[in-house]
Structure 1
Amino acid sequence: MPTVVITGVGQRLGLCLAQHFLDKQYKVIGTYRTERESINNLQAKGAQLYQLDFYDQQQTQAFIAAVTSNNDAIDCLIHNASDWHDDNQVLDFASYHQIFSKMMTIHAEVPYQLNLAFKSLLTPKNDHQFTDIIHISDYVASKGSKKHVAYAASKAALENLTLSFAQRFSPKVKVNSIAPALLAFNEDDDDRYKIKARNKSLMQTEGSFQEAINTIEWLLASRYVTGRTIHLDGGRHLR
């Protein structure tokens, strides 16, 4: 049974990924921060889930220890856990420092730590096999964001980690990023916002979580793609 580790499975893309791999008969190991009904549903299907706050180094280390001691191999590691802070209205230095530190921790430091800690589990035992690390980045990593400067910078750092780990873990571990722009709206997004958001891309629509799942499946099937960031933006970069 292949094993996939997915951080941040409580909602949205992470939840869809966990459900997708469970349906494919994968052993799914996931993390979540907040108790939700979705967590109970995943556990009922057999997912092994760990509740932790990646901002707490001790909890991160405990998760690493649990995974390494209870598993012989990992076929795919997906870094989906994320956070979002608007630093456009922040005025004091302490808040600036906290926001930047948190963004870099969740989007760069934690993937860095997990990649290194799980390297032995990710190394295929068969010479004809590959394993995968997939970083979930963001469209703003290459564009920047005037309202979310720290967030955009941390996602850019994540994409740079993709380049470095692709080199360090080659040739048996493929390392790639996916950078979506708009996959799905939140439940509380109003119609005015949805129209504005859709108009930012050439395709004039949201991409869907399935689009990201299809891209991940393509990366897993590939024997020749590594060190790349795949943009899922509906042609937004051309607007």
Structure 2
Amino acid sequence: MNNTYGRLASHVYNLDKYIGKSFGDVEYYRARLEGCAGPILEPAVGNGRALIPLLEAGFDVCGFDASEDMLDYCRAQCAERGFAPALSRQTFESFTYQQRFDAIVVPAGSLQLIGHHAVASAVLRRFHDHLAPAGRLIFDLYPNDMVADLQPNIRSWQTETGDLLTLNSQRVKTDIIGQTTVSHLRYDLWQVGRLVSSELEFFTMRWWGVQEMVLTLQAAGFVDIVVTGDYAFGRAPQHGDHVVTFECQRSG
């Protein structure tokens, strides 16, 4: 039940973060990958919101996700556009490929779904091992997640068939020492005013300090680390920035 993205959660994600919706990340990643002719991996690919624009720009991208429901959306929307990238159900902790990648990209703060520092460190080492020599890792973190969404929140979406999907979210735990937050997310599907389906998910996010992440990347073997605030490449993050992006290379 923790960060699982089940059927209703994936449906909400697809309605809310539809293909073509960008938070500045799609354009940024496309620009940073310019000239990359080799294979690119997107872990936690979700519904393809970032992957599909990269495919449309001519990049050779594949991806994986832990949620089969999310992958179903990604596969369908790729097929609608004439793409058939290699997509598989795998996790951050255990993914494996025979090939090595010129780049690995993780937009939208997906790395923060890994709740423990030791596990995240192992995942970064796995990224390093799956990169070709001088291959790049690019990923986002959201620095405000520790203090955001403190109050209960209710949102709703109309489905393609006119039904109603609602999301009730409530922060239930903030662990300052562990640098994590846990929220309860309840997804409800309503038809003609009647509740027909519900899902409860525990949603865990980890907060990272900038220097903490730099040290963790260095320990994983990465070099030439560039930290960027709000997608202005090379500008150091500053107070008020919504997103911090890390770009680094495999050593050796």
The TM-score bracket by the shorter chain reads 0.3 to 0.5
Which structure shows the bigger proportion of residues in strand conformation? Answer: 2
Instruction: State TM-score, norm by structure 2.
Output: 0.42
- Compare relative contact order (CA 8 Å, sep 6+) and give the higher one, 1 or 2: 2
Instruction: State TM-score, norm by structure 1.
Output: 0.43
